[in-house]
Structure 1
Amino acid sequence: MEVSAPLNVSLREFGCEQSLLSRPDGSASFVQGDSSVMAGVYGPAEVKVSKEIYDRATLEVLVQPKVGLPSVRERSQEQCLRETCEAALLLALHPRSSLTLVLQVLHDDGSLLSCCLNAACMALMDAGLPMSCLFCGVTCAISADGQIITDPTAAQEKDSRALMTFAIDSRERKVMMSSTKGSFSVGELQQCVAVSQRASEKVFQFYRDSVRRRHSKSL
């Protein structure tokens, strides 16, 4: 049975500030509801010979939890973030160099991976690194009764039977990366992709407004 995707896509309130940190080459904090992440970008810089790639930059991504040491969850998030950033960044322009993206989780109230993706994109923009496209993250949860919830809170995630996060590119709204867990049908996956693509319009509009505000202040 085909179920049409909901037309209204509700996202929590966004907040973003760039250039907050003095040591990184680019930084940004991103807030979605009560979830917040700080991202810092270092480089292009010298790379260790053991990690050197002759035709492109080496990208390292580190996710620091709010408390304690990184676990399997953070390693999984790092891989998703690295895949997305490598697809967007023009790494061939900086061969034999290193780029490091560090994300510090300040608060997790759901949709954390999408918050990390959004913080990463804003930090990369702040660093002025060349990219083929921008990207954003959108998380969808499927509740026990089959409802699709965009940008779920931690409580909504806990009660859901499936959770999906997509990285969407700004040019063609294509899925650059997906991270899924739980049980869902192919139809539900397609619906969540369609809803995430629609939600990405709001995130990219927020990016534009945020950058415009920042530059109008500095003029």
Structure 2
Amino acid sequence: MTLESETTILNRVDGSASLDAGETKVISSVSGPIEPKARQELPTTSALEVIIRADIGVSNTREKLLEDKLRAILSQVIIGHLFPRQLIQITSQVLESGEDREYTSKELSAIVNSSYLALIDANIGLSVSFAAQDIAITESGELIAGPTKEQLRSSKSSHVVVYAIENGEPSNILFSDSIGTFTEDEVYRVLAIAKQHTGKVHQKFRKTLQEKVEKDFVWSV
């Protein structure tokens, strides 16, 4: 599966990134720290607002579920005490889903990865880097990282694993989500393969961020 990413693509937000992961394409933006509404304000940390917009039609309970999952991940890594009584807003627009509506693994993986790049672009403090990988298990027990739409349709389960990245290597599991039928042994295999692939994903992101730094710090003589 090809993976292409770019930062600073929107000019009316504090940070943004696009991610093209094969059949799935997502743009994420970050606004903040900004002033929250009174009901959102927290005295000792920043409030986190997550919005996910569907590729077709209006957002429904499927997108709300994705929002809850993304919020659970980001709340672990954003250093909220740096921005008390402020709001950080993350918005992800799915351009191409790349999967049927009953699946969410490809979208969630792309949204997590694009949100990471957008947060870096917005200079939001993170306690650790992170990367996500989606995996499908076929009826024969084969594990496929970054499955296509057709492979996902014929699979017996789909999985998304998010690893924290420390010193350039995957370390702790931040999040794991599975749908379908699978055994305990298959879960361990999924985690092992996801660890390998999230390391590769992060290496690609390092190149994207290096290009961002080179563009941001161009000095004219």
- Alignment partners' CA distance in 1, 2:72 and 2:207: 27
CA deviation after TM superposition for structure 1 residue 214, in Å = 3.0
Tell me the residue number matched to 1:155. 150
Tell me the residue number matched to 1:58. 47
Q: Which amino acid aligns with 1:211?
A: L
CA deviation map 1:76-100 (0-9, x unaligned): 1111111111111101111111111
Q: Which runs of 5+ in 2 are unaligned?
A: 100-105
Q: Which amino acid aligns with 1:195?
A: I
Tell me the residue number matched to 2:6. 17
Tell me the residue number matched to 1:137. 132
Superposed, 1:3-42 pairs within 5 Å as 12-42=1-31
Tell me the residue number matched to 1:103. 92
> TM-score, normalized by length of structure 1?
0.92
Match of 2:209 among 205, 208, 211: 211
Q: Is the 8 Å Cα contact of residues 143 and 190 (structure 2) preserved in structure 1?
A: yes
CA deviation after TM superposition for structure 1 residue 217, in Å = 4.3
Match of 1:47 among 28, 36, 45: 36
SS across alignment from 2:147: coil
CA deviation map 1:8-49 (0-9, x unaligned): xxxx11111111101111000011112110001011111111
Tell me the residue number matched to 2:186. 188
Q: Which runs of 5+ in 1 are unaligned?
A: 1-11
- Alignment partners' CA distance in 2, 1:215 and 1:99: 22
Percentage identity across aligned positions? Answer: 28
RMSD over aligned Cα atoms: 1.1
Q: Is the 8 Å Cα contact of residues 133 and 146 (structure 2) preserved in structure 1?
A: yes
Tell me the residue number matched to 1:7. none
Q: Is the 8 Å Cα contact of residues 7 and 208 (structure 2) preserved in structure 1?
A: no
Q: Which amino acid aligns with 1:210?
A: T
Tell me the residue number matched to 1:167. 162
How many residues are aligned here?
208
Q: Is the 8 Å Cα contact of residues 136 and 203 (structure 1) preserved in structure 2?
A: yes
CA deviation after TM superposition for structure 1 residue 216, in Å = 3.1
CA deviation after TM superposition for structure 1 residue 137, in Å = 1.0
SS across alignment from 1:207: helix
> TM-score, normalized by length of structure 2?
0.91
Q: Is the 8 Å Cα contact of residues 138 and 157 (structure 2) preserved in structure 1?
A: yes
